[in-house]
Structure 1
Amino acid sequence: MRRRVGVIGLGMAATPHAQSLSDLSGRVAVAGGYSPSADRRAAFAARFGLPVVERAEDLLDDPTVSAILLLTPPDTHAALVARCAEAGKHVLLEKPLDATPDGARAVVDVMERAGLTLGVVLQHRFRASAEKLAALLRDGALGAPLSAAVVVRWWRDAAYYAQPGRGMKARDGGGVLLTQAIHTLDLFVSLLGLPRDVVGFARTSGLRPIDTEDVVAAALRYDTGLLATVDATTTAFPGFPERIEIAGTAGSAVLSGDRLEVRLHSGAVIDAGGTDGTLGGGADPMAFSNQHHRAVLADFLDALDAGRPPRVSGREALKVHALIDALLRAAETGAPTTLPKDLLS
């Protein structure tokens, strides 16, 4: 069926979503896009040829609209998702779930209580190279994981932080972990699960007028014995491809950007994916194709049609939030942090 959806939030993040909506126009119709800024509404309509509305209620009160793409700043998510739930709308939510841990849980809870579908835009899981690595791990091709690393050495310039509130706890809830590295951390968690214990350090470099962390170093310990590290920053000029590295008893894998390299003890070699691009890790955070956003949207539509959860549901997204919360808590207290056992199963 062809669904009617609304878009709330027409800032920088709207571009790949609008492109994806156009790509999937045979499956989805845009009832309207809303921003409180008239200039943003006009720019959205002119650039993408999609309709706009002057009030969010024009979308929420429209019984023909079945879902909302919510692309607003993190500190607005809990309240807006609650409004969507009250209006009976399914939600595809731009990451993160919310700016605070309590807000993140509230977003998931309110949608579950309403019996509505919540999808979260964590598109790195949909890269073909990431899916290939996930399949290799499921099949045991690498053996038992022994050592792993997450490396996100990105760059954000002064123009990026010029938008009011960006990089501030009040609006974004967190810095490099919750705003940038969340994509790679979510993929990492989807591949290897959550650790039991976390130790780490985080600081604000002072390169820009923000109050959130932009330099993080941490270590993770798993119940299986796997040890892993996290190295995340937005101070690494000019920005480098994010990486996930896994060493197992039967071989090793390096996922750099969208390029996968696997070397097995058997002598087998697997190379897959793209050209090692930064995919938004440099000064232009939107320097990437919309193909993975399109895959997220297509999966969300499939989930609605089939009555199943999307691949990245709200409850699934709570896992990476738990890891980020633990990393920041460990950095703040200077003590190891243990994740709740119910999240590790």
Structure 2
Amino acid sequence: MSRILNVAVVGCGIGRSHIVEGYLPNADKFKVVALCDLNQERLDAIGDEFGIERRIVNFDDLLTMDDIDIIDVCTPPGAHLPMVSAALEAGKHVVCEKPLVGSLRDVDAIMAIEQTAKGKLMPVFQYRFGNGIEQAKRIIDAGLAGKPYCGTVETMWRREAPYYAVPWRGKWKTELGGVLMGHAIHPHDIFTYLMGDIARIFGRVATRVNPIEVEDTISASLEMKSGALASFTATLGSVDEITRIRLQFENVTFESDHAPYNPGKELWKILPRNEEVKSRIDALLAGWQDVPSRFQTQMARFHDAIFDKAELPVSSADSRRALELVTAFYHSSSTHTEVVLPLGPDHPLYQSWVPTEFR
């Protein structure tokens, strides 16, 4: 049986990055056989660039194509729920760009569909992959880092008027949020991936940089379930662009590479407490094998999950944790109160965090 999976990419914006970074480097695992986009000009441009002949404008047509194994949803966030649901119900494997959906209610609905679905669902959090973050994760999981003390996440990016010329950006109904949803969601996911679950948060959001509906500046104070403390800050008005994650543990301090859009790729600064800790870390990392960053490794591990019963590299539960943070952030900012996690169906923003006037 062939182990090459046929992929249909829906949305030729970020979908192009999935092809270039994720599928082409894994040509022994995937073949992109179809594209779907409402914009015929963009559809033809990407189809011609990569020699993909099947070009579809009606998403539903993909659901009946028996030779398609994976539907990769790269549309604006507001379209994710019906597409992911339909693809799972049609028996397809599904890859979906972040955010998976636009509310805790919707992510719980997707997770319910997963329980009986034939295919697997993998949300995208490509920033998790690369040598730097993988080494930090291995040290933490091995117990060498010790007790977590505190951490900081700074997402200092820049977005100006041309970025918001794309019609769906900067609007609640289609983007579902601002810097929290489309930008800092990646570094925040890295933080919880390494430091565990959040217990409570006091957050603030503001629109300071651009004349848009959604927020472009945020700040928060957090307490982790471990007892560790953390602070998150992000803006889309920075002059230069960096992503900086610094984690303080009992035995080790980690600091990420500052590359804004690939903080996991390069080796992180690892500062052991003493020579004994250093020796144990050196032994753990001896013979380290390169881990390609971003989509290349995420897609390769998705293939492993499908064929070799490996764990999904990113799960819908990971997406729920990210969306729970977003929900708590918006609620805390609007009520000026601390929010305790986890959040269930009884939370006021469970059905939607989008302000009523924009739904």
The two structures share one fold, judged by TM-score above 0.5: yes
Q: For residue 15 of structure 2, what is the aligned residue in structure 1?
A: 14
Matched letter for residue 69 of structure 2 = S
Q: Could you report, residue by residue, the CA deviation over 1:126-172 in whole angstroms, capped at 9, with x for unpaired residues?
A: 12110101111122333211111111111112111110020211111
* 2:112 pairs with 1:109: yes
Once residues 224 and 6 of structure 2 are traced to their aligned partners in structure 1, the CA distance between those partners, rounded to angstroms, is: 44
Give the conservation status (yes or no) of the 8 Å contact 1:143–1:249.
Answer: yes
Alignment of 1:186-265 (within 5 A): 186-205=189-208, 207-240=209-242, 242-256=243-257, 257-258=263-264, 259-265=267-273
Q: Could you report, residue by residue, the CA deviation over 1:29-63 in whole angstroms, capped at 9, with x for unpaired residues?
A: 22210101111111111222223323323321111
Give the conservation status (yes or no) of the 8 Å contact 1:111–1:118.
Answer: yes
Give the conservation status (yes or no) of the 8 Å contact 1:149–1:244.
Answer: yes
Give 1:86 shift: 2.4
Give the conservation status (yes or no) of the 8 Å contact 1:108–1:118.
Answer: no
Matched letter for residue 177 of structure 2 = G
Once residues 116 and 335 of structure 2 are traced to their aligned partners in structure 1, the CA distance between those partners, rounded to angstroms, is: 34
* 2:173 pairs with 1:170: yes
Give the conservation status (yes or no) of the 8 Å contact 1:194–1:323.
Answer: no
Aligned match for 1:301, one of 303, 316, 324 = 303
Matched letter for residue 17 of structure 2 = P
Q: Secondary structure at the match of 1:53?
A: strand
Give 1:227 shift: 0.6
When structure 1 is superposed on structure 2, of 196-205 and 140-149 the one drifting more is 140-149
Give 1:291 shift: 4.3
> After TM superposition, which residue ranges in structure 1, 4 or more long, deviate above 4 angstroms?
none
Matched letter for residue 190 of structure 1 = Y
Give 1:217 shift: 0.7
Q: For residue 29 of structure 1, what is the aligned residue in structure 2?
A: 31
Q: For residue 47 of structure 1, what is the aligned residue in structure 2?
A: 49
Alignment of 1:131-142 (within 5 A): 131-142=134-145
Aligned match for 2:332, one of 317, 324, 330 = 330
Give the conservation status (yes or no) of the 8 Å contact 2:74–2:97.
Answer: yes
Q: Secondary structure at the match of 1:137?
A: helix
When structure 1 is superposed on structure 2, of 109-118 and 331-340 the one drifting more is 109-118
Once residues 331 and 80 of structure 1 are traced to their aligned partners in structure 2, the CA distance between those partners, rounded to angstroms, is: 31
Alignment of 1:49-128 (within 5 A): 49-54=51-56, 55-128=58-131
Distance change in 2, residues 1:48/1:184 (3 Å): same
Matched letter for residue 270 of structure 2 = V
TM-score by length of 1: 0.87
Give 1:214 shift: 0.8
Once residues 77 and 268 of structure 2 are traced to their aligned partners in structure 1, the CA distance between those partners, rounded to angstroms, is: 31
Once residues 225 and 189 of structure 1 are traced to their aligned partners in structure 2, the CA distance between those partners, rounded to angstroms, is: 13
Q: Secondary structure at the match of 1:238?
A: strand
Structure 2: tracts of 5 or more residues without a match: 258-262, 283-291, 345-359
Once residues 140 and 195 of structure 1 are traced to their aligned partners in structure 2, the CA distance between those partners, rounded to angstroms, is: 20
Matched letter for residue 269 of structure 2 = E
Give 1:17 shift: 0.9
Q: For residue 155 of structure 2, what is the aligned residue in structure 1?
A: 152
Once residues 341 and 68 of structure 1 are traced to their aligned partners in structure 2, the CA distance between those partners, rounded to angstroms, is: 30
Give 1:105 shift: 2.6
Give the conservation status (yes or no) of the 8 Å contact 1:100–1:173.
Answer: no
Once residues 296 and 140 of structure 1 are traced to their aligned partners in structure 2, the CA distance between those partners, rounded to angstroms, is: 24
Once residues 160 and 232 of structure 1 are traced to their aligned partners in structure 2, the CA distance between those partners, rounded to angstroms, is: 17
Give 1:218 shift: 0.3
Give the conservation status (yes or no) of the 8 Å contact 2:47–2:55.
Answer: no
Give 1:99 shift: 2.6
Give the conservation status (yes or no) of the 8 Å contact 2:252–2:271.
Answer: yes
* 2:188 pairs with 1:180: no
Identity of aligned residues (%): 28
Matched letter for residue 245 of structure 2 = I
Give 1:341 shift: 7.9
Q: Secondary structure at the match of 1:236?
A: strand
Structure 1: tracts of 5 or more residues without a match: 272-289
Matched letter for residue 319 of structure 1 = R
When structure 1 is superposed on structure 2, of 134-143 and 208-217 the one drifting more is 134-143
- Pairwise CA RMSD of aligned residues? 2.0
Once residues 303 and 116 of structure 2 are traced to their aligned partners in structure 1, the CA distance between those partners, rounded to angstroms, is: 21
Matched letter for residue 248 of structure 1 = F
Give the conservation status (yes or no) of the 8 Å contact 2:155–2:244.
Answer: yes
Once residues 235 and 225 of structure 1 are traced to their aligned partners in structure 2, the CA distance between those partners, rounded to angstroms, is: 32
Aligned residues: 321
Matched letter for residue 98 of structure 1 = V
Give 1:18 shift: 1.2
